[in-house]
Amino acid sequence: MCFHASQTKKTRQLEDRFKVIRDDSNSIGEDDFTFYHSNGFEHRNIAIITQEASDILEPATWGIMPSNEVATNQKEYYKNAAKWRAGLNAKSEKVFEHFIYSNSIYEQRCLIPFDGFFEPYDFEGKKYPYYITREDKDSFALVG
């Protein structure tokens, strides 16, 4: 997954698109997951659909932590992990061997609804953000 993405749909629109319902125990509002641009290093709240509860839209924090880390140390972990860009981009060629992903690749997968994502486009030695989205502007899911 890329580091820059957008998700501008209301929660009800995500429920309709992905045939899920929101997790009522988390008091999810209509705009809780909407943003035009977010950098993954902000570790913001995002919506996910887990393989364990494939009919439920749940809140999550953008990023992944190894199972031996304590959830209460999340901010500190992400601050340190940013040094080696950990937990934001699982590349297929190392996802089964990398210590962060290898334990979760089989049993802790999810879908992450987005409208689009930004990738760098190199033009005459300068990088420009290129927005990639569906032609109909509907949401799609990236894997997590």
- What domains, with CATH codes, occur in the chain? 4-143 (3.90.1680.10)
**What pLDDT does 141 receive?**
95
Gap between the Cα atoms of 8 and 55, Å rounded:
21
Statement: residue 19 has pLDDT above 90: yes
Taking alpha carbons only, the member of 24, 28, 55, 41 closest to residue 87 is 41
Statement: residue 43 has pLDDT above 90: no
In this prediction the pTM is 0.84
